[in-house]
Each structure stands twice: as C-alpha cells, then as structure tokens.
Chain A
Amino acid sequence: MTNFSITSEPIVSAELIIQLEDPDCGAVATFSGIVRQHNKDREVTQLHYQSYKTLAVKEGNKILGEAKEQFNIVNALCVHRVGDLNIGETAVWVGVNASHRDAAFNACRYVIDEIKTRVPIWKKEIYVDGDSGWLEGAG
C-alpha cells in the first residue's frame, strides 16, 4: 500500500484519519480541499479532475517521503479524487501525525503546497452558463 493514492470514489476523511491513530502521537493535522462554487468571479457548478496516474502516485509518494525526512512526524497520507465532483465534495485530503503539533501542522502544509505544484493532476471547471475550461495553473 502506498501513502499517496488516487480515487474516483468519494473521500471519507473519518475512514482515513483512523489510519493515523498512534499512541505515540499527540497531534494529527489534516487538510481537506473542497470544491467551491466560484472561482475568479465565475459561478462553478462542477469540477472534473484528471490525473496522469502512474506519475502522480510516484510524485505524490515522493512528496510524502520528503515530509517525513524534513519534519519530525510519524506518518503522512494523502488521497486525491479524480472524475466529476460536485460543490462541497472533497477533492484532496492530507493527514499527518506527530508527537507534537508544530511538526504536524508544518508537514501538512508542506504536503498540500507541493502537491498543488508538482503532481500531474488537472482540474476543469464547468460553469453555470454551460461553458467550461481547464485551469492554467501556475506553470
């Protein structure tokens, strides 16, 4: 099992957080990225996510490994959703456990920031007027 995974099924954070239960850990930090109903003043009705799965899993696991090396944490997990998502659904979930909160917060932030710039996953917005487009990204 790898710690970074891609799924076309809804993400249930309550099921994931169980994997981070550890009697040695006093802190669990999580981040959920949720589909919101607007972007740059345009009303969004749905998002479509597509991934280059093999490389996305490889790069995602690399990022989780970096987090474990750089921060004093015990474990880090991430699940990214693909396919069609509605407003309010979870697109990405990150969870980190550690002895103390500083390392957990910092590692969680590191993981989501790196995923957003390095992992080959793309999002297409579908707007209320029927128009749609792939987002450009930071490049």
Chain B
Amino acid sequence: MTENMSDSINIKIQYFAALREITGCACETLSVQVGSNPKTVYQQLNNQYDLPTQKRLKIAINDCFCSWESVLTSDDTLVFIPPVTGG
C-alpha cells in the first residue's frame, strides 16, 4: 500500500474552452504515476473523455508554457491549451 502510494503523485488539471465542455469540469485532481508528463497524462485522460487530438494543443505547468515531455511533480497544475481565439 505504502509502496503504491509512493509510486503516484497528485496533480491538478485545469480545463478551458472546448476542453471544459468535453470534460464537464473547470478543474480536477488526478493521481498519476511518478515520472508522468503531459503526454502520458493526456493519454490517461483520453480513456475517460473523448478528447481532441493533442497535435494542436499547447501545455502550461504552473502558469508557464512547457513541453509535452516536461516531467510533472506533486501538486503541479497542468493546463492543456486549445488553439487561442482571442481578439
């Protein structure tokens, strides 16, 4: 039990625009494997939601633009950013 818990971390995910409508929530906490990155988290979420292709999305971790390969740490806030349409 202790070993399993140490193998996973909790992260927070915020959703915006179309992704918020698909998931039905503005944010959620997710338990992910240690060493996870946005790419693996997106694959994990895709089992739960009918998400669009990741090709056009950008990534932010803790309010900074990051890459899909950035390794996540405990309590990080991850955002998948759909193509922007402001202005």
Chain A residues with a Cβ under 8 A of chain B = 33, 49-52, 54-56, 58-59, 80, 91-92, 112, 115-124, 134-139
Contact = CB atoms under 8 A, between A and B. Distances in A.
Contact of A52 (B18, B81, B87): B81
17 contacts: A50-B20, A55-B64, A55-B79, A80-B87, A92-B87, A115-B87, A116-B87, A118-B84, A120-B60, A120-B84, A122-B17, A122-B18, A122-B82, A122-B85, A123-B86, A137-B85, A139-B83
For the residues of B in contact with A, the DSSP-based class is mixed
Contacts of B16: 50-52, 120, 122
B63 A51 contact: no
Main secondary structure, interface of A, reads mixed
Given A50-B17, A55-B60, A134-B18, A123 B85 contact: yes
Contacts of A33: 87
Contact of A49 (B20, B64, B86): B86
Nearest to A125: B85
B87 A112 contact: yes
Contact of B60 (A51, A52, A121): A52
A91 B83 contact: no
B37 interface: no
Interface residues of B, number: 19
Interface in B9-44: 14, 16-18, 20-21
Nearest to B21: A134
A33 B87 CA distance: 6
A16 B26 CA distance: 32
Contacts of A115: 86-87
Interface string B56-87: 10001001110000000000000101111111
Contacts of B79: 52, 55, 120
A71 B16 CA distance: 33
Given A115-B86, A122-B84, 15 more contacts: A49-B86, A50-B16, A51-B16, A52-B16, A52-B60, A55-B79, A119-B84, A120-B60, A121-B85, A122-B16, A122-B86, A134-B18, A137-B84, A137-B85, A138-B83
